Amino acid sequence: MWKGRFHEETAPIVQQFTESVSYDWRLYRVDIQGSVAHAAALAKAGLLSQEERQLIETGLKAIEQEIAEGKFKFKVGLEDIHMNIESALTARIGPAGAKLHTARSRNDQIALDLRLYLRNETDEIRVLLTNLQRALVQLASRYPDAILPGYTHLQRAQPVLFGHHLLAYVEMLERDRERLADCRKRINHMPLGSGAIAGSTIQLDRRFIAELLGFPEVTRNSMDAVSDRDFAAEFLFAVSLIGIHLSRLSEDFILFATAEFALIKLSDAYTTGSSLMPQKKNPDVCELTRGKSGRLIGNLMSLLVTLKGLPMTYNRDLQEDKEPVFDSIDQVKLALEVYAGMVAVTEVDLRRMRNTAGDPALLATDLADYLVLHDVPFRQAHEIIGKLVAYSLEQNRGFDQMSLEEFRRFSSSFGPDVFEVLNLDRAIDSRTSIGAPSRKNVAAALEAWNAILREEP
């Protein structure tokens, strides 16, 4: 494509070093979509006849089908997906194919393709997030009375409904969906027409192209348009956060499925065994998901480091944007899909969970609140209950095994009604403030989420 300027063939090792078609071939659909729109704009400007435009579109659609069926022969010497398609088109339809690149550079063509591709992938990832949210809501709905010992610092803290715990992840995933939707707004700007750096003296109707491709906006600066990868970095950041949220959920499920916790049971279909120890049942889906979060973060860092030292405008370094983007898309989509399947068939050991949550020490804060409601200042109440906890440990007896006289050794504000505080169900249902885990609140939250998720694709 640059034989007019160069007198020697590109060295084979340089071809191998600079090619990208081995991975950017997956842009073929959006590349053809963009070229069809570009041909329409060339025809509108009188630079192509309608016959030439039809030849181009028909030829491109045939090439698209060949690639989809695995029949297309990619050539490394043509470097990338863009030149492979253009060369095949010209060979197929003749001079009309050679006109297609009029008023277009690979710089703005690549920028367009990546935006089209990420726009599509963003929509697909949002659907997968919704599916996982549905699975979590369904799991919570199957066990409405499961009471979990909530943890801080991985120490038993206060009792919560298991459904409330799962809904925390539903909230995280919703923010992930919102982040992707917001990121999509910045992806959704049409760069074609920016040329290599400074547009073109050949005037095409950029807004017409944008309309054909479903872009609400066109980019406003040709230099920025061909070198901008902010949208890709933002996309990778959003995907990295999805990975982090999945990693946290994985850690919880790994712990809860151990013999030490034994709160949930993962399906055989989503676990593996040991090559040596026949008793093992390993939570590999959770562990691999937790591990892949590091990979997603690494892909984000890779792109950011690539971008940080680039002068204006397009530099070949930007070819390195695609592999981390493609890899993050593949990994997060796979993780979301397998996780939704795993969550859907996860079981809860209700008896074990309730027995664990029944540890009277989890109601220490409730006892402090009891004293506050009996006019004891909170800091003083906190100290009193701290001493009561120490006494309980020394005596090796829970609060529910103590007499009223023992309680009153620590504060005269304790009355016979103190034992009502030690009821686990009452403790849960007393937490009625907005966002707290009473049964009523959690049931309402599940109903609300079911309604929200029904509206999603």
- Residue 335 sits in the same domain as residue 383: no
263 falls within a domain: yes
pLDDT band with cut points at 50, 70 and 90 for residue 3: low
Residue 4 pLDDT greater than 70, yes or no:
no
**Which of 7, 153, 275, 433 does the annotation list as catalytic?**
153
Of 355, 379, 403, at which residue does a domain stop? 355
Catalytic status, residue 247:
no
Query: What is the pLDDT averaged over residues 174-180?
Result: 98
| CA atoms within 13 A of residue 75's CA, in its CB half-sphere | 9
Looking at 19-80, list the stretches that DSSP marks H as alpha helix, in order from N- to C-terminal side. Answer: 21-24, 28-44, 50-68
- Residue 26 sits in the same domain as residue 151: no
443 falls within a domain: no
Query: What is the pLDDT averaged over residues 396-402?
Result: 95
Residues 255-287: tens digit of each pLDDT: 999 999 999 999 999 999 999 999 999 999 999
Q: What distance in Å separates the CA atoms of residue 421 and residue 440, rounded to the nearest whole number?
A: 19
Domain count for the chain, please give it.
3
Of 355, 387, 407, at which residue does a domain stop? 355
- Residue 228 sits in the same domain as residue 242: yes
Domain that holds residue 56: 12-102
430 falls within a domain: no
Q: What distance in Å separates the CA atoms of residue 346 and residue 256, rounded to the nearest whole number?
A: 11
CATH at 16: 1.10.275.10
Query: What is the pLDDT averaged over residues 362-388?
Result: 97
Query: What is the pLDDT averaged over residues 138-150?
Result: 97
- Residue 76 sits in the same domain as residue 118: no
Query: What is the pLDDT averaged over residues 373-379?
Result: 97
Residue 1 pLDDT greater than 70, yes or no:
no
- Position 108 scores a pLDDT of 98
Q: What distance in Å separates the CA atoms of residue 451 and residue 261, rounded to the nearest whole number?
A: 33
Q: Which of 28, 111, 74, 17 is nearest to 318 (CA)?
A: 111
Q: What is the mean pLDDT of the chain?
A: 96
Residues 30-70: tens digit of each pLDDT: 999 999 999 999 999 999 999 999 999 999 999 999 999 99
> Phi and psi at residue 148, in whole multiples of 5°?
-110, 140
Catalytic status, residue 105:
no
- Position 10 scores a pLDDT of 81
CATH at 168: 1.20.200.10
- Residue 97 sits in the same domain as residue 113: no
**Which of 22, 49, 274, 412 does the annotation list as catalytic?**
274
- For the ranges 8-12, 200-204, 361-365, the lowest mean pLDDT is seen at 8-12
- Residue 129 sits in the same domain as residue 81: no
Q: Is 436 helix (H, G, I), strand (E, B) or coil?
A: coil
440 falls within a domain: no
CATH at 396: 1.10.40.30
- Residue 32 sits in the same domain as residue 46: yes
- Residue 147 sits in the same domain as residue 208: yes
